[in-house]
Amino acid sequence: MKVLASGGHHADEPGGHGAAYLIGGQRFEAGTPRLAEAVAEAHAARQRPRCLCLAEGVEMYIARLAGTQEGYVVKRMPGTGSQHAPDCPAYEPPPEATGLGQVLGSAISEDPATGETTLKLDFPLSKIAGRATAPAAGGDSDSVASGGTRLSLRALLHYLWDQAELTRWHPGFAGKRNWGTVRSHLLRAAEHKVARGDALRGRLYVPEMFSVEERDAINARRLAQWQHAVAAPGRPQQLMLLIGEVKEIVPARYGYRCVIKHVPDQAFAIDEPLYRRLGRRFDAELALWGSADSVHLVTIATFGVSEAGIPAIAEMSLMPVTPQWLPIEDSFERQLVERLVAQGRSFIKGLRYNLRRDQCLATATLTDMGSPGPLLFIVPRGLDGMAGPEGLRDVIGRCEAPAWAWRPASEGMPQLPVLAQRERKPSATVSCAASP
């Protein structure tokens, strides 16, 4: 029997802390033999464990998993992530500080009884032959039109990146993240997620790490998965979701093609209207990607496969990331993230989801300075003292956490909050967490 701890660090990225739980009046540490039995008994008795990251504990819940991950998962209660200690695996920044707060509970609904999460999307996963597709998702105007009740293509990527814990950084992760790590985390994050009535995992294609020796086997697995998206006469075409790293987007003999790293044998077709929209809607992302060889460009896209076996992208969004695969949206975020990494800090990178670019959000939350974790803001010009939900003062007030602010339009980057050594409480989390 398997027990997974929600929100924990991954075994292939050492450096975090594991979890300790209070179950039936007894303390259990992640990885101990008795934990699985205690969790099963608590689930049968409808008992809720408490995470012991804080002396008073924080209530969790237990969900039973089916399929390939059969067993149990100990998960934080919806909306309680910020109540945990910042260095706890179950911790999340205050949702009000990022774009998550706008979509949580509306576009993202978690069922504590089953552990299943339902996602509402504002883009289609099917296509009727001969009908033009909508403009590329991810632009600010499209994102805001839904009012937070549905996830844009960009917001879905941000959610999966968050759920895969690829927004978290700890000095122990240095040199441990590559595309293989990113892929495994994303696939795990997609488990037990439902979108438009279907399991998200079955729709998601994340390329395997390419190997010349395994070329034929990798291609065979890819083609088998793509069969779900092959066009059939007289029926709407089912679309798949691609998450991959862009190698290049270049003219082809007909239209344009997007080459994805680790998929050297098959480019993705892009028609001219979509190509032109990409240049207009993602000019900042493309410029950031082109500014430094160290910046990766991640794409999320919906695509179908022609009867001839050619994949064609229907909608697309782009997200630049650092060498550590931490998302960034401009050069100022890049500077801040680079400094945090260079100084050996632990933090969680904030993501925009459906929020417009002119809305304030916490670029990062420090997790190495006790509770509550300081929020780091990069303040857009004109939003410093703005009243209302878009202004810095209002966001900070809602989060009730210490704040650091950098106004790049008028000043150089201030000194980051100073890291002070502190003793951990006996009830704090311990090592060896398992994670989904």
Query: Read out DSSP for 187-237?
Result: HHHHTTEEETTEEHHHHEE-PPPP-STTHHHHHHHHHHHHGGGB--TTSPE
So where are the chain's domains? 1-91+428-436, 93-327, 331-406
Judged against a pLDDT cut of 60, whether residue 8 lies above it is answered with no
pLDDT over threshold 60, residue 236: yes
Residue 146 CA: distances (Å) to CA of 80, 97, 175, 350: 25, 20, 39, 21
The b/e string for 233-259 (b: 16+ C-beta within 10 A; e otherwise) is eeeebbbbbbbbbbeebeeeeeebbbe
The pLDDT of residue 412: 94
Distance CA 12, CA 173 (A): 9
Say which residue the tokens 């780091």 belong to: 376
- pLDDT at residue 133 in the model: 53
- Report whether pLDDT(12) > 50: no
Q: What is the 3-state secondary structure (H, E, C) of 236-295?
A: CEECEEEEEEEEEEEECCCCEEEEECCCCCCCEEECHHHHHHHHHHCHHHHHHHHHCCCC
Report the predicted TM-score, pTM, of the whole model to 2 decimal places: 0.87
pLDDT reading at 365 higher than 90: yes
Give 418: exposed, middle or buried? Use CB within 10 Å, 0-12, 13-18, 19+. exposed
Query: Residue 8: left if φ>0, alpha if ψ -120 to 50, beta else—which one?
Result: beta
So what's the pLDDT on residue 96? 84
- Spatial CB neighbours of 85, under 8 Å, sequence gap ≥ 6: 53, 54, 91, 370, 371, 428, 429
pLDDT digit string, tens, across residues 120-179: 999 999 988 655 555 544 444 333 334 568 999 999 999 999 999 999 999 999 999 999
Name the strand (E) or helix (H) holding 159.
helix 153-163
Q: In terms of Cα–Cα distance, which of 127, 79, 136, 128 is closest to 104?
A: 79
pLDDT, residue 202, reads 94
